[in-house]
Each structure stands twice: as structure tokens, then as C-alpha cells.
Chains A and B, each alone.
Chain A
């Protein structure tokens, strides 16, 4: 049994339930969660913007300890500290074989079905199956995941901080390093100062960007972006973001613009504030039915690159330990990303704070 936050119906608060957790099957790992971050992607499911089978245990940015391993598991053992990887790539599909594990077809299938690779989950409640978000189901005291979904980590980093690596840090820093490949001396704009946006900012600083423009509507968060490396801030509630960025870049626009909100309008803004031959990276997740409107003439005449980034185009087994090493070396900030810590029972308060833009990252800390 495990205490878990369950979404039963779209648009309604999560309920805390005692769910049954079956043991790990072959190739699976049981994890005792220690911390889990509250991400907009979880909230999108609550809102029904990412339609998935219900009931479901949400949560995908988590860290904990390996409790038990199933037959054949070789990458972790009981007692290992792990971060969850919500893109457990198969290693066999075309995308995996061509060096894009972030686009793994099998992982995408698991995302859509809310199950483990065998099409079932180990969670059940009132005799019926409970699905798990992004293979993880991290808002539960225990979860069962495929072995590819756990990345062993160094033991000297607190679980609360390690959990962040599993989504917001990998996504933000990865979008800069892997997707955009920001070059030293570049100009960068970041739309959205949330968990991912802050990591794009510190990723851009790590990459040596000379100008990093943070754009948001919450003044307190904008002020804080400067401690992560932002050189300029724009409050989009007070001024037009595209015009402001053009003013700050001699009318040229930025070399790289990152959208970390997930709204079609801000995605278009990111494209429109990118300079000719620059790169726009969409990191924010919009609902599947939404479309972005951009100027058709600009496509050939301005030769910009418009692309997206999923989990920062990361390769978790390689990148998670590296990111934690960067933290340990004092080059990545993790503590200030955590705005508030909640118990599992307070999870709806955490989502309310997320929705209002109050938190950079809210975190669930599980009881010992």
C-alpha cells in the first residue's frame, strides 16, 4: 500500500488515497519517493489539456531510494539513490538508434497510455487499475517504474534538489546546451520565469551568453532571475515583450529565444523577437489542439530556425549525473529554485500556487 495523490476527474482537486502497489516485475524497479516537484505538465493533465486515462497518479519530477528490484535489473540495486527519468527510452527504436533518446517512440507510447511497457500499471485502487503519469507516478510514497526510468545518482545531494534534475533542470539547461547550442557571446531571451525558465537562464549563463533577457509578468521572479544570470528583465504586463527585446538588441532581436510558458501567443513572440538566422526554441507545453500563428513571409526571408525541445534533448543516464556534478561544483543553483515545500496532503495548495505563478518550483516532501 502507498499513500498517493490521485486525479479521478479532470478539473477536480487530487485526492489522497491508499493505493495498492504490486511488486516489481521483470525489468522493473520499486522506488520509495523522497521528493517530487510540481510541474506545469502535471497541471495540464488536471486541466484536461493533456488527455490521459483516469484515474491517474501524477508527478514525474522525483527522487528517492530503490526499495526493490525485479528480475533482470542490472543498472540499480536496493538502497541506491535515484532520480526518475520520465523518458525511459527503449534503445531500440529509430530515434534511440540515431542518438535522439528524448524522442523515443516507446517512451512516447507509454506517455500516451499512462502505463508501463507491458500495458499495465502496478497501482490499483478499489480493485481497478490506476495509471501513472509519464511512466513515473511520482506523487506516491512508492512507485514501480521500468529500470530505464531510474538513474542512479551520487549520495551527497539532498533528494529535494536531486528531484529537480529530473525535469526542470534537464529541460532548461538541456534546451540551451543540447538544442540551441548557445555560443559564448550570444544574446538570449527567455519567456517565462518558472522552474524551466530559471534553468534556461542559468544554462545560458553557463554557456557564456553575454546578454540574457528574462521575460515574465511577476516582478519578484524577474528580480530573482538576475541572481541566475539574467542581465535584463522585461515585465510583459507593462510593456510589449517583442518591442522591448528589439530595443535591448539594437533592433536586431536575440540570437536565441526560448519559450518556457506553453502559450501559442508567447511562442509567436519568441519567434518574432529572434534575430534573422537566429534560433527559437519552444520548451513550454501547449495543449495538443492549439496552433501558433507566425508570419509566412518571414519564414524564407528571415531564415530563422524554429524548433522544440523535449526534456532538453537530454540523455538522462549521461546528463543527470553531469548536472549533479555541476551543482556540486557550485556552477548550478538548485536551492533557490524551491519556493515552497508541501506534504502530499497539501498537494492541491501547491498546484494553486503553481497556477497563480507564485512558485518557481513547489516540491512535495514525503514523510520518513
Chain B
């Protein structure tokens, strides 16, 4: 081990590792000093000039610097799930009540377990002795062929959903978002430093399914409401009730104006929409019809808020797939925000035909099942333009613009996990993490010096290098540092010196047995190696498994623990040994050097 050549190699290795670590952390240092520099400049003009003149360097440093995790910087971690049950239901043909009840059961199961939806579906169909081909694809397909097709469908939907969500986030403007898929229905979204989380959630949540649907005639609406009302009064519908017995239960919730339009009090909106979801109510509607509620309430003459109730055709005349461009603006009076849309050529010709054939009728503009407006068609629209009004704020108009541009999701997505940390708590975490690092480091360093003197100092030098290596690997691989990650570093500090403790104790024994210091050092390193290796391997194995099975925040801990443990094999053994060799060669080591 101590031949000349070997020694050279070790020294070279230490030098290279140290330099690479420093080089990898250099941009982080630059980034830090730039921000210090900027905050020291007093006037805005000065800092703007400074930023402009150093723009490339600042950008470069920021890109390569050590990133802080979401919990330290503040931000959102979201897991969204593509609703595969909905996706498959859309794909099915000749759906009937039996199919619907089966799918509802599957949906219930899928919500509470992590099992594959295709498997759940197959199991549910098997239990009822129904072949998948009765509802899916081709009657000649076997079950396993259909399973494969459904799986492909799900995979495609997931990829499309990811792209659309990425589009929305990019349009909104988030710095460095991370969007990945996991398994066959999950999308994981990391959004650092989002200030307006409410808006972000709304932006991600909607399917953005835009439809143009014809309204049914006013008298059809009135007849339908009457039918529902009498059914409710007869007690055949046990759904929503205002809590009092009445001869016209529906008209306690819905008021009809002579013009044939129906409105509901905003406070009863949830009641009514629950009522409209009731299968018994749906059976009372005219064929190919659907009852929808307006997206936004309007203030009536009596200062109360009302939602409109519409009866529309179920089959849309046109869907949002034809939209090529959307733009949020203010309307003609300059007060009402609206979104202008233009269509591709296919959409333009269809739109012209639809509007030409339905002059004087009303077309509802429906987004995700809510009616934004239902303007009367004045004339044929030849240029493929259309407008969404009924929007409350410019911000909402902007978000509509974003989701319309990004396109509709293939199936609804739901937020199934969220971890959001506000920036103020993030600052607290940074302080806490920094304090633990400083105190942990100091405690270990001081203890080692007191207990082992010179040798302790060597171990401390190695420890500094160890922490440098962990941080530089994180920076170099573009990983981020989170609070659990910091905990991993602090824990590693305590574990890294353990190797030195084992070696030094052995050396003390050898010296006590009367060996020379040089011989004792050699013996100590050789003899302690086996237990050091064992302890490192077991810790590495545990950390690796934690990384493999861990999710989100815990992985940060596993990563720093792994890097730190692996680095400690090098720093605690090779580095300290080289320090001793150097000191021994200058006759600077005595038996006292090991405390």
C-alpha cells in the first residue's frame, strides 16, 4: 500500500476529487455572490444596469448552481391522476345501465387503491360473466387483446395529458417546472416558487373540454321542468329537497320567467346540480338533451346572485379541437373581459354551416360542463371567430386563454396528492437546516479534536471534503437540496467520522501493544477496514432501498445519505491516511498524536 507509486496515485486522486468538487460548486458561489452584489446596490437603475452587463454570467451561474428543493424555496408538489375509468367509459360503445354500474364500482375501487384500472375492470367484468368485447372495440377481440388495447389507450392518454399540462404551465410562466409521469396514470408536477397556488390549481384541474351546443326551445325547457317537478312531488325522486314539504318542490329551487328562461339562487346551486346528476331526473329529459348550469352567477334586480339553467342538446355541434388561437381581451364596452377564439379551416366551414342554419337560435358555449354564455346567432359567421363572455375577471380570461390554447385533456385529471410550502415557511426551513448543519458540524469537529487531537484534526479535514463532495454531486447532477436532504448530510457527518474512530481506536491499541507509530498506523487501517466496509455497505443498502421505494421528500434524504456514505469510504480512509503519511514522513507524528 505504501509504495511510492501508490502514494502518488492517492495524492493525485485526492487533488482531482477536491478540484472537481470545487469546480462543481463554483457556479453556486457565483450565484450567491451575484445576488449579494445585487442586493447591495441601492437604486433600481444600478441593479438593472448591473444585471444587463453581467446577464450571461448571472444566467449561467444560476443554471449550474445548487438548486434548493421545493420545501426550502417554497412551491408546490402535485401528483395528478388521469381518470382512466372516465377515459374507458368514453371509449365504450352501446353503454347501458349495467355498464355504468360496473364502471362506478371500478371507479370506487380505483380511488382507494393503487391497483391497475385495466385489471380492476377485467376482474369486475369477469365476476359478472361479461366479455369485454361487449362494450369495447370489436366483438371478435379476445379479452386479453382488449386489455392490451386499453392499456395502450391509457398510456397515450397519459402522455398527451402530460404534454397539455406542460403547455399550460409553460404558458402561465413558471421557472423550471418538473413534469414527469409515473406508472400508467400518474403525473408528478413540481412547481418551485409559485406565488398564486389557487390559480395554479384551477389551471391544472380543468379538462378544458370546449363545446358549442344548441339550446332546446324554451317550451321544451318548461315542459321538462314540469315533469321533474311532478315526479318530485310524487316522491319518485328522493333527491334534493329544501327540507320542507311542498306541492312544487322543484319550483322552490328554480324560478321560471315568462320568457322561458329558468334561474336558480346561487345558494341552491349544489343542490340543483346534485339533482341533475340523479339518474331518475336524467330519464325525464327529452332525448339527446342535457340540463346545464351557467358557470358564473349574475346579480339579479333584487341584489341576489342567480345561475341560469339551460336545456341543451347532448351532442355538441362543434368541439374545442378546432380552436387554433385564443386571446383574452376586453369586450366592446371595454369593461367585460372576454376570450376571442379562431378556428382551423375545418372548424371555420363547420361553424359557418352551423351558424347559417340556426339564425335566431341560441348556441351555448360550454367549457367542462358549465355554460359560459348562450348568445343568439345573429347571422352566419364565415371567418371562424367566436367569443366567450360571462367571465368575471381578466385573470380568469387569461387562464381560459391558456387552457384553450393548450388543448383539451383526453380525460379528466384529479389532484390526488399535494404538498405546498409557502415561501415564508421555506425561509424558516432554510434557517433551520443551516443551523443544524453548522451545529452538527461544530459538535463533531470539536469532539474529534478533543478526543483524538492531531488525528481528530485529520478526520475533520476529511469531513469538510465529505460535505463538499455531497454538495458538489448534488449541484453537478442538477439534484436539489431539500430539508430531509440536509438532515441526511447532518446524519452523515456523524457517521463519516465513525470510520475514523474505528481506525484510531485500533491504532491506539497497536501503540499500547508497543508498536512504532508507523507500524501502528498501517495495522490500524488494515485491521479496521473490514468492520468499516460492513457498516458502510449496510447503511448504503438501507439508503438505496429507501431511494428505490421512497417517494418525494424522503428521496432527498436517501440521496444525500448515499452520497455521503460512499464519499466517507474515500475521505475517512484514503484522505486521513495520506495526511498521516505526510506527517510521518516529516517526523511530526508521535504516540501522542492519537490523543
Chain B binds chain A: no
Name B residues whose Cβ lies closer than 8 Å to a Cβ of A: none
Name A residues whose Cβ lies closer than 8 Å to a Cβ of B: none
